[in-house]
């Protein structure tokens, strides 16, 4: 039976068993969508990235799947893909890797101090808090915004750490590809966050690069600076350096390989 290579990478961390695990599957042609979704479900991590490398000077085609659906944007699996290309498949780190995706062309620079991911900024607008979110979270946020995801602003890092949302209530809320960002000013970094995905196989995402497309412009405005440090304080945890550059967000973080293998399809 045919097999495909598979890599599993912990992104936005330099330590194994931390950060956000992503699987990366190189392809020569696209598989049926349902096959890619089933592979992602079998991998049982937040995201699986599939890519096709079309050769020098051409963007690398990249798609992302959760165990449930195809995503429009995923930061940590893009960093994981860049890591696989540079560390395992012989791509040069001398120039940026360019990926063609549903969110346009994205680039990643591999540097000695980490991978720098260039993503679109997604500023949020003030929004009403859905009843299900209010009931599920207990403590009320002081502000509510929405871009792709709802973003709830709390007063302290301690509140974010102590959140225990009621999933049975949140699963009544269909947000499509979106989720719920909870954030506050950090005690040792500029801001902290957690990210929850109702109706998803993986309810809390360990480190969510795409959420920082909304977090970064918000906190840049609140703190009056363009370069920020961030931590996602899930159980695994992850660290990011965020830069707001006009309508782009630059995220810098590390990655480390956990697994190399082959899958049978």
The residue to which tokens 């509510």 are assigned: 144
The residue to which tokens 């042609």 are assigned: 29
Cβ neighbours for 79, distance < 8 A, ≥ 6 positions apart: 9, 11, 12, 22, 108, 115, 117, 209, 251, 253, 255
Interstrand relation of 47-52 and 20-27 (parallel, antiparallel or unpaired): parallel
| Residue 221, SS3 per DSSP | helix
C-beta atoms surrounding 72 within 10 Å: 15
DSSP state of 72: S
| Residue 113, SS3 per DSSP | coil
**What does the buried/exposed string (b/e) look like for 150-185 if buried means 16 or more CB atoms within 10 Å of the residue's CB?**
bbbbbeebebbeebebeeebbeebebebbbbbbbbb
Q: How far is residue 77's CA from residue 81's CA, in Å, rounded to a whole number?
A: 6
Q: Which of 47, 57, 128, 157 is catalytic?
A: 47
Active site annotation includes 70: no
Beta-ladder partners of 191: 185, 230
Point out the residues that are catalytic. 47
């Amino acid at each position: 039976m045919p097999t495909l290579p598979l890599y599993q990478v912990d992104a936005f961390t330099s330590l194994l068993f931390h950060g956000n695990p992503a699987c990366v599957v190189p392809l020569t042609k696209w598989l049926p969508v349902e096959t890619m979704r089933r592979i992602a479900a079998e991998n049982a991590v937040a995201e699986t990235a599939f890519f096709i490398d079309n050769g020098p000077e051409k963007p690398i085609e990249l798609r992302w799947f959760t165990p449930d659906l195809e995503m429009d944007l995923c930061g940590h699996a893009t960093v994981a893909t860049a890591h696989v290309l540079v560390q395992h498949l012989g791509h040069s780190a001398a120039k940026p890797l360019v990926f063609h995706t549903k969110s346009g062309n994205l680039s990643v620079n591999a540097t000695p101090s980490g991978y720098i991911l260039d993503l679109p900024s997604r500023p949020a607008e003030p929004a009403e808090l859905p009843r299900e979110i209010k009931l599920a979270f207990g403590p009320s946020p002081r502000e509510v915004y929405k871009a792709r995801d709802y973003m709830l602003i709390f007063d302290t890092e301690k509140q974010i750490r102590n959140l225990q949302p009621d999933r049975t209530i949140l699963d009544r809320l269909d947000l499509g590809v979106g989720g719920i960002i909870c954030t506050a000013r950090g005690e040792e970094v500029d801001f902290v966050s957690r990210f929850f995905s109702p109706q998803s196989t993986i309810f809390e995402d360990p480190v969510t690069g795409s959420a920082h497309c909304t977090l970064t412009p918000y906190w840049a405005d609140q703190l009056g600076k363009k370069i920020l440090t961030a931590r996602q304080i899930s159980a695994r945890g992850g660290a990011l350096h965020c830069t707001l550059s006009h309508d782009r967000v630059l995220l810098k973080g590390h990655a480390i390989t956990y697994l190399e293998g082959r899958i049978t399809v």
